[in-house]
Amino acid sequence: MRRYIFGRVIRSIISIFLVTTIAIVMIQTLLPRDLVFKVDQTYIKLGGKIDEKTRYKYIKWESIGYLDFVEQKDMCSALEGSELAKCIEAGSPESKKIADEYKAKGYTIETYKGSGLLYAFKDKPVTTIVLDFYKNLITIDNPWAVKDPQNPDLERKVYVGTDFNGLPAIMCSGCENKYLFYVDSNFPFLHQNLIELDLGTSYPTFDGQSIIDVISSEQGTTVNKEVTFETGTTSKSPLQLHSCRYKATSTLDRMDTQKFNDNYANCASYKSDPSMMSISMTFGILSLILAYIISLPFGIFMASKKGKFVDKMGIVYINFMIAVPSLAFIYFGRLIGTTFFGLPDKFPVLGSHNFLSYVLPLIILALLNTSGLMIWIRRYMIDQSSADYVKFARAKGLSQNEIFIKHILRNAIIPIAQGLPASIVLTISGAVITETVFAIPGMGKLLPDAIKAYNNNLIIALTLIFTSVSIFAVLFGDLLITWLDPRIQLTEKEGGAK
């Protein structure tokens, strides 16, 4: 069994790799590069400044990973003295010579129209772009991660110390993060910054932020808490000291030196609202539980009243839910909820800390899942009604309800569990629409927003995340049915019997 699970995990990883790779190739090769500037306000504000717009474009393309970009001053940086001074002049023989050297390396040489200075760029092959994505996907912090020429005496070590609360922590000097392992009162209590997932940098929306920070950091307005800093200063501050990362010496200011004894002064802030990931997980898990709570009793009741009015009305509901487009049903549900029950039509109206903000989206997201679950439960219960063990139970004098609950439902748990992966996938796809309609600041809404803004790195990252959840949900469903019914085997037994 362990070998089977290991093989399934490997195949799942390969499937995720293939889907994500296809997404990267399609986005990087089929979408025109200039589209990424369509909603970039900084680029738009440059107006008719041709040289500045050109430079801005190539810097951003390089940060996204499309190409390598160098300007004339960088091309000449290896020279010294008078040669350097002549090389950085527009149209000089030295600059032409250095340009020829870059052209021989495969760079395309262009000239700024205003200044006449040179710049060079070289497109990255799509294979390099794909490999760079996976090469940087997992980062392990270490004492040699920080490169700061202005701090040559930086001590590089991992050590056991105490945090600002006096609790033990594994800390580091020279790492990107000061705290590698630490404990606090938040579940799961033990946290780590040693191994991190790097999904790239967001652009143009959330410009310059790590995509992991975009989806996992708290949102809303900053919240001040009483904090005692390393220097002994106590004040109201929003800074999360466990998140502090290394800050280059050149960017340290007076406020940093008043609070910190070292360069670990780049800290995240406490915010008033949960992260996008937390909000989406809350909606996904609760809506899935609610869908099963609704579907199980109704499917059983329909099966017990087969052919009667209740069963016929249930079939009408199932057919309606299957036939109606999800978007139309969401808008219809929102209209009913706001008109007759006074529920908010947008999540931000009451905010994430008000229970009523969750009611309408949760109910709608759960109802989108009920039709498939109800029809499957009804069908299975009816099929099992003619089984020998049911006839024997009737002969013993058990009532219809006792037969359904004590016998048929126990066997129905297996196919119900088997349908869990499909329900998870439907929850993800439904959340994309539901979060968009209700303006819920979660990962579901983030995907269409990223597509509209041509935020290519974010689209790729979300593709990887949603694909991983869907594929591993299938594996989880298979393992769950073997746990519920040991008679079910996912591997061949000795002798070839299954």
Residue 54: which pLDDT band, with cuts at 50, 70 and 90? very high
Contacts of 267 (CB under 8 A, 6+ apart): 239, 240, 241, 243, 244, 245
Given a contact cutoff of 8 angstroms between Cβ atoms, the answer to whether 57 and 49 are in contact is no
* Interval 418-437 mean pLDDT: 75
Residue 174 falls in which region: left (phi positive, over 0), alpha (psi -120 to 50) or beta: left
Residue-wise pLDDT for 179-221, tens only, equals: 999 998 877 789 999 999 999 899 999 988 899 999 999 898 9
* Residue type for position 312: K
Token output for 423: 């329900």
Given a contact cutoff of 8 angstroms between Cβ atoms, the answer to whether 194 and 143 are in contact is no
* Interval 118-132 mean pLDDT: 93
* Cα 49 from Cα 94, distance rounded (Å): 27
φ and ψ of 95, to 5 deg? -70, -35
* Cα 121 from Cα 102, distance rounded (Å): 9
Q: Nearest 5°: CA angle at 329, between 323 and 332?
A: 135
Residue-wise pLDDT for 267-287, tens only, equals: 999 999 999 988 988 888 888
φ and ψ of 144, to 5 deg? -105, 15
User: Is pLDDT at 256 greater than 80 in this prediction?
Assistant: yes
- Decide: helix, strand or coil at residue 409: helix
Name the DSSP letter for residue 347: G
* Cα 125 from Cα 496, distance rounded (Å): 48
Gyration radius (Cα) of the chain, Å: 29
Q: Give the pLDDT of residue 69.
A: 94
* Cα 451 from Cα 35, distance rounded (Å): 11
* Cα 481 from Cα 472, distance rounded (Å): 15
Q: Is the dihedral of CA 343, 345, 350, 356 positive or negative?
A: positive
Residue 487: which pLDDT band, with cuts at 50, 70 and 90? low
Residue-wise pLDDT for 428-473, tens only, equals: 767 788 888 999 998 888 889 999 999 999 999 999 998 888 888 8
* Interval 475-483 mean pLDDT: 76
Residue-wise pLDDT for 218-242, tens only, equals: 898 999 988 888 888 888 999 999 9
Residue-averaged pLDDT of the chain: 87
User: Half-sphere exposure of 168 toward its Cβ, with a 13 Å CA cutoff?
Assistant: 2
Bridge partner residues of 173 (DSSP): 157
The candidate with the shortest Cα–Cα distance to 440, out of 342, 334, 335, is 334
Q: Is the dihedral of CA 396, 401, 404, 406 positive or negative?
A: negative
User: Is pLDDT at 75 greater than 80 in this prediction?
Assistant: yes
CB count in 10 Å sphere of residue 297: 12
- Decide: helix, strand or coil at residue 375: helix
Q: Is the dihedral of CA 132, 135, 137, 140 positive or negative?
A: negative
Contacts of 386 (CB under 8 A, 6+ apart): none
456-484 helix and 443-452 helix, angle to the nearest 10 degrees: 150
The two beta strands, 225-228 and 219-222, are unpaired
Q: Give the pLDDT of residue 485.
A: 64
Given a contact cutoff of 8 angstroms between Cβ atoms, the answer to whether 90 and 63 are in contact is no
CB count in 10 Å sphere of residue 476: 13
Q: Where are the alpha helices (DSSP H) in 305-440?
A: 309-323, 326-340, 356-384, 388-395, 400-403, 409-418, 420-437
User: Is pLDDT at 496 greater than 60 in this prediction?
Assistant: no
* Interval 335-348 mean pLDDT: 92
* Cα 245 from Cα 145, distance rounded (Å): 11
- Decide: helix, strand or coil at residue 239: strand
* Cα 479 from Cα 490, distance rounded (Å): 8
* Cα 279 from Cα 488, distance rounded (Å): 36
Q: How many residues can be counted in the chain? A: 498
* Cα 489 from Cα 483, distance rounded (Å): 10
Q: Give the pLDDT of residue 498.
A: 44
How far apart, in Å, are the Cα atoms of 224 and each of 179, 328, 333, 352? 21, 42, 38, 18
* Cα 36 from Cα 166, distance rounded (Å): 47
Written as one string, the DSSP assignment of 273-330 is E--HHHHHHHHHHHHHHHHHHHHHHHHHHHHHTTTSHHHHHHHHHHHHHHHS-HHHHH
* Cα 351 from Cα 274, distance rounded (Å): 11
